[in-house]
């Protein structure tokens, strides 16, 4: 009892009277990182928050994921910039967790470390032919057209084929379909990377298939994106009416889910109006349902290159209330194509010294508190280590989902501070920002603070204004760092 | 908070030629149940009004119908019915709002007009316990 009271006293004196501020390091500057920073700064008026990112540019997927023709979705960077400009907050770009600084070093330097570095890898299908040329993950393709410095060398071949197959029917799948099919004159005034615009202008792709293993009721996209892709000029939409038949289980799913109900209605309307349209010389978008990929087919005249996808027909099987999965029927068919984009989900990358659930692709946690051991009872926690965003929940949700995710993680941190859970580390001062910068300087890491990102930002906008684009992205590490140092 | 919002209503706000802009009474009830009553000029959106009065309402896309973070719940059906039906664009964003109710609207699309005098708006709770009810936000 006395120990508990002593710890509470220490914790209270820390938070109310501490001579030293609470030093927090957030790894990752996407929405999860920035919303966490904003809430920490607000809730703990004596905290100092540093946000590190391996890229010289902040904002994560808002910069490298959101499609070029969705500029309104990027407006949130204004709010994130205000957070970075808070005097108790610092952004440090070009700092890599692992090579610039280790996790254990960060935990020595800061009272609290929050990992919010998202998901930079992909789920794999694990089927034959996945390594054939021409088979890419949608994530890589998105990085490519968004000018991510690690994505510019993708060099997708859009000229040797007229057909692209996209596996998956979520919003990322719809994004890549739309970028492949939109008139390039419309893309030319967006912040799309120039190398991608050029490739798309020379593209021969006229037919795109969006393939889902379940039905229209289970499609993972949302209404705005579906409406948009259905409204592309000179695009004929192909949906089989037979695929629109619903079962009682489907009806149940739609009854309790407004999103799915409205998606189904949009697809039904598109199927009816699509069949009435002539489709000569137009581009085509095919929604293929109840098909799962079995293998990728190799071209006979281009060894090592994909020439098609073999699909297995599926039926739905109920596995729980409101949940049906796809089961193969043993009947197969092929779609010929020269490009395949797998849009089946992102996956997080583990970090040395951290427990990782490889199946779910997350760091095991309880409401954002990182677990050090999942086998024990009660679960053992890693002191002062938290997660937020996709690394915490898995790679689903929208930008706004991170508002709630950050709220939960910050609440966990606050509770832990109040209860004296962090007393052992929290009562002593930590080197924080000064310590990190000294360490990085000793390692010759060229840190990019927010003011240097602003130089990159200004230069990109300047280059963009010469071409009637909101910005012309700098897409190589060299160009980015050069602009930062100007 | 310094916000430069661009709502379609702002363009209409300067009509009338009156020195004193006509205002209505709006009460915001935050997630902890605390109430704040403010006066809002005719033509201003609820999102803009909230920010001008330091009321914590998120507005990630700054009123451009590209997010659902300014989601508000009208506390009286009577007032909900006085609003124009949401457009497809607003409904598409409402699809994504957390804790959607039958009287939910986007704060950036509710524009102050005389008939809304006395309106009460609840700001939905910020935390959604992911584990408890098994809710997983699907869209992405």
- Model confidence at A472: pLDDT above 50: yes
Q: What is the DSSP string of B41-54?
A: ETT-BHHHHHHHTT
E-only strand ranges, A8-88: 22-27, 47-52
A456 labelled binding-site residue: no
Residue A170 annotated in ligand binding: yes
A75's tokens: 């407006």
Say how far apart CA B41 and CA B23 lie, in whole Å. 4
Residue B135: the pLDDT is 37
Residue range A150-178, pLDDT digits in tens: 999 999 999 999 999 999 999 999 999 99
Nearest CA in chain A to B131: A367
Nearest-by-Cβ selection for A399 from B60, B91, B127: B60
pLDDT for A280? 65
What is the greatest pairwise CA distance in chain B? 55
Q: Which residues of B touch A (CB under 8 A)?
A: 2, 58, 60-62, 64-69, 88-89, 91-93, 95-96, 98, 100, 126-131, 136-140
- Mean pLDDT (whole number) for A180-198: 98
Asked if the domains at A2-120+348-485 and A122-346 fall in one CATH topology, the answer is no
Pairing relation of β-strands A47-52 and A22-27?
parallel
Residue B137's pLDDT is: 42
Establish if A408 touches chain B: CB-CB under 8 angstroms: yes
pTM to 2 decimal places: 0.91
Evaluate the CA torsion angle A475, A481, A483, A484 in order and state its sign: positive
% of chain A exceeding 90 in pLDDT: 87
Instruction: Identify the closest residue of chain B to A260 by CA–CA distance.
Output: B95
pLDDT, mean of residues A130-137: 98
Q: How far is A224 from chain B (nearest CA, A)?
A: 6
Say what the pLDDT of residue B97 is: 93
Of the listed ranges A36-40, A318-322, A433-437, the least confidently predicted one is: A318-322
Q: Residue A18 — pLDDT band, cuts 50, 70, 90?
A: low
Q: What element of type H or E holds A403? A: helix A401-418
Q: What mean pLDDT comes out for the span A6-29?
A: 70
pLDDT at A350 over 60: yes
What is the CATH code for A122-346?
A: 3.50.50.60
Span of A48-62, A344-358, A451-465 with lowest mean pLDDT: A344-358
Q: How many CB pairs under 8 A join A and B?
A: 91
Render A213-225 in DSSP notation, one character per residue. SS-TTT----HHH
Q: What is the residue-wise DSSP string for B51-89? A: HHTT-----TTTTSSS--TTEEEES-HHHHTTSPPPPHH
Burial of A478 (C-beta count, 10 Å sphere; 0-12/13-18/19+): exposed
Contact A398 B140 (CB under 8 A): yes
For residue A393, which residues of chain B lie inside 8 Å, CB to CB? 130
Task: Please state the rounded mean pLDDT for residues A314-322.
Answer: 94
Tell me the pLDDT tens digit for each residue of A139-152. Answer: 999 999 999 999 99
In tens digits, chain B (140 residues) has pLDDT values of 444 454 444 444 445 444 457 999 999 999 889 999 999 999 999 999 999 999 999 999 999 999 999 999 999 999 999 999 999 999 999 999 998 999 999 999 999 999 999 999 999 986 554 433 333 444 55
Arithmetic mean of pLDDT, A476-486: 97
SS3 label, residue A382: strand
Q: What is the model's pLDDT at position A80? A: 98
CA atoms within 13 A on the CB side of A414: 15
Q: Does A171 lie at the interface with B, CB-CB under 8 angstroms?
A: yes
The CATH code of domain A2-120+348-485 reads 3.40.50.720
- Residues A42-85 pLDDT 10s: 999 999 999 999 999 999 999 999 999 999 999 999 999 999 99
Sheet holding A22-27, edge to edge: A365-366, A369-373, A380-387, A112-115, A22-27, A47-52, A89-93, A448-449
Tokens at A439, concatenated: 């360490």
Q: What percent of chain A has pLDDT over 70?
A: 93
Q: Are A430 and A48 in contact (CB under 8 A)?
A: no
- Residues of A within 8 A of B62 (CB-CB) are 75, 78
**Cα angle, residue A44 at apex, residues A54 and A402 outer, rounded to 5°:** 50
Are B128 and A404 an interchain contact pair (Cβ–Cβ within 8 Å)? yes
* CA atoms of A263 and B2, how far apart (whole Å): 37
Residue A234 backbone zone (phi > 0: left; psi -120 to 50: alpha; other: beta): left
Specify whether the backbone of B78 is left (phi greater than 0), alpha (psi in -120 to 50) or beta. Answer: alpha
Does A480 appear as a known binding residue? no
For chain B, the distance separating the N- and C-terminal CA atoms, rounded to the nearest angstrom, is 29
pLDDT digits (tens, 9 = 90+) for A264-308: 999 999 998 876 666 666 899 999 999 999 999 999 999 999 999
Which range among A22-26, A39-43, A415-419 shows the weakest confidence by mean pLDDT? A415-419
Q: How far apart are CA A80 and CA A347, in angstroms?
A: 24
Nearest Cβ partner for A396 among B66, B100, B136: B136
Judge: A407–B96 Cβ closer than 8 Å, yes or no.
no
* Residue A447 in marked binding region: no
**Is the model more confident about A425 or about A166?**
A166
- Residue ranges of the domains in chain A? 2-120+348-485, 122-346
Query: Going by C-beta distance under 8 Å and a sequence separation of 6 or more, which residues neighbour residue A230?
Result: A237, A266, A270
Per-residue pLDDT tens over the stretch A76-126: 999 999 999 999 999 999 999 999 999 999 999 999 999 999 999 999 999
pLDDT for res A425 = 67
| pLDDT tens digits along A200-212 | 999 999 999 999 9
Lookup: tokens for B16 = 């009338």
A220 part of contact set with chain B, CB < 8 Å: yes
Q: Is A97 annotated as a binding residue?
A: yes
pLDDT given at position B131: 34
Asked if omega into A203 is within 30° of 0 (cis), the reply is no
pLDDT at residue A127 tops 70: yes
Q: How confident is the model at residue A379 (pLDDT cuts 50, 70, 90)?
A: confident
């Amino acid at each position: 009892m006395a120990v508990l009271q002593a710890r509470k006293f220490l914790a209270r004196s820390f938070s109310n009277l501490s001579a030293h501020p609470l030093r927090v390091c957030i790894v990752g500057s996407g929405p999860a990182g920035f919303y966490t920073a904003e809430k920490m700064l607000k809730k703990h008026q004596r905290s100092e928050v540093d946000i590190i990112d391996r890229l010289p540019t902040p904002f994560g997927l808002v910069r490298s994921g959101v499609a070029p023709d969705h500029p309104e979705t990027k407006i949130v960077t204004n709010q994130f910039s205000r957070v970075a400009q808070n005097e108790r907050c610092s952004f440090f770009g070009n700092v890599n967790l692992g090579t610039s600084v280790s996790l254990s070093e960060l935990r020595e330097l800061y009272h609290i470390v929050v990992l919010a570095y998202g998901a930079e890898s992909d789920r794999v299908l694990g089927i034959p032919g996945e390594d054939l040329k021409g088979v890419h993950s949608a994530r890589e393709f998105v990085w490519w057209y968004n000018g991510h410095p690690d994505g510019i060398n993708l060099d997708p071949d859009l000229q040797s084929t007229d057909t692209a197959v996209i596996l998956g029917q979520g919003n990322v799948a719809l994004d890549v379909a739309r970028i492949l099919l939109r008139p390039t004159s419309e893309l030319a005034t967006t912040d799309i990377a120039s190398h991608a615009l050029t490739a798309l202008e020379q593209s021969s792709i006229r037919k795109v298939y969006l393939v889902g293993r379940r039905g229209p009721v289970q499609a993972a996209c949302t209404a705005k994106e579906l409406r948009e892709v259905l409204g592309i000029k000179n695009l004929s939409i192909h949906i089989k009416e037979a695929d629109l038949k619903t079962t009682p289980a489907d009806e149940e799913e739609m009854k309790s889910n407004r999103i799915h109900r409205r998606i189904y209605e949009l697809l039904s309307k598109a199927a009816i109006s699509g069949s009435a349209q002539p489709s000569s010389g137009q581009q085509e978008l095919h929604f293929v349902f109840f098909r799962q990929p079995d293998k990728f087919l190799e071209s006979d005249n281009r060894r090592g290159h994909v020439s098609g996808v073999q699909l297995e027909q599926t039926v739905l099987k109920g596995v729980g209330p409101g949940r049906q999965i796809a089961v193969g029927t043993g009947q197969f068919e092929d779609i010929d194509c020269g490009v395949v984009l797998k849009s089946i989900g992102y996956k997080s990358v583990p970090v040395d010294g951290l427990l990782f659930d490889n199946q779910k692709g997350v760091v095991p946690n309880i409401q954002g508190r990182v677990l050090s051991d999942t086998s024990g009872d009660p679960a053992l926690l890693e002191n002062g280590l938290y997660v937020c965003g996709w690394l915490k929940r898995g790679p689903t949700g929208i930008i706004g989902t991170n508002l709630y995710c950050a709220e939960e993680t910050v609440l966990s941190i606050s509770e832990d501070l109040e209860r004296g859970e962090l007393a052992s580390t929290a009562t002593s001062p930590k080197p924080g920002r000064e310590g990190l910068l000294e360490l990085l300087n000793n390692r010759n890491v060229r840190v990019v603070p927010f003011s240097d990102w602003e130089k990159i930002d200004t230069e990109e906008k300047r280059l963009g204004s010469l071409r009637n684009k909101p910005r012309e992205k700098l897409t190589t590490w060299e160009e980015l760092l050069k602009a930062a140092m100007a | 908070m310094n916000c430069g919002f661009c709502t379609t209503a702002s363009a209409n706000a300067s009509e009338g030629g009156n020195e004193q802009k006509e205002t209505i009474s709006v009460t915001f009830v935050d997630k902890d149940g605390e109430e704040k009553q403010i006066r809002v000029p005719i033509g201003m959106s609820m999102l803009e009004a909230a920010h001008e009065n330091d009321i914590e309402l998120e507005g990630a896309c700054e009123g451009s119908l590209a997010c659902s973070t300014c989601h508000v719940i009208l506390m009286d059906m009577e007032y909900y019915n006085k609003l124009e039906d949401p457009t497809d664009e607003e409904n598409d964003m409402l699809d994504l709002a957390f804790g959607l109710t039958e009287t939910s609207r986007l704060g950036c699309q509710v524009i102050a007009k005389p008939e809304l005098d006395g309106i009460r708006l609840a700001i939905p709770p910020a935390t959604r316990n992911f584990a408890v009810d098994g809710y997983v936000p699907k869209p992405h």
